[in-house]
Amino acid sequence: MNLQKRVKLASWAGIMGPLLLGGVVTILTITERDFMASIGWKLNAPLDWPSGLALGPSGWIMTSTFLISGILIIIFASGLRLSLPPVRTALIATWLLTAAGFGMIGLVSPTDKTIRTTPATLHGRLHDASFVVIGLTLMPAMILLGFAYYKNGQKGLAIYTWVTTALAIPTFWLKGFAFYIFLFAILTWCEVVALRLWSIFKLSPLNPTS
């Protein structure tokens, strides 16, 4: 696959990923609302959300979405790597983003309910570990991508990335209602970056359709 096709594929992965994850989470939250309430979820206190959606009647949809989203993140990261100069910050950032994609895939291991009378399970621990991997790789990746964009003359995108990261870091670890903010901010950032990547593909002089 040539460079242009890889960048095009990556941009589509970045565009579709947030739409898929955001859409599935929204729909399942509505359709599985009674189930989620039964395990402690409330709109203003989203306990076990969104991972708990995988435990509900349509849980296989959430599990599949974690898997597909992780794969899309990995493809997206590969396109970002190709679109930026081969400097250390860009390379490290995109590899960290790839690791976050693998962390997302790890979320297919079912979570344990927070409110329970049984000990933590192995699959629950794997789920929690995958969640930590996302936290330890995604935000550093975004910080470094900001530097890569800045050095590449994309100062507006760099500032936007840093502002999103500054918002994402506390909301990721605080959980609760703040996690809504985290998820919205990250999905929006992915969409913006993916659309920018698509514009690079369209404007490339090597693009056979240009």
CA angle 72, 137, 112 (to 5 degrees): 80
Asked if 113 contacts 52 with a C-beta cutoff of 8 angstroms, the reply is yes
Is the pLDDT assigned to residue 210 strictly greater than 70?
Answer: no
pLDDT in tens, 26-44: 999 999 999 999 999 998 8
| Residue-level pLDDT at 208 | 38
pLDDT in tens, 184-198: 999 999 999 999 888
| Residue-level pLDDT at 37 | 94
pTM of the model as a whole: 0.90
Beta-bridge mates of residue 42? 45
Q: What CA dihedral angle connects 53, 57, 58 and 59, to 10 degrees?
A: 40
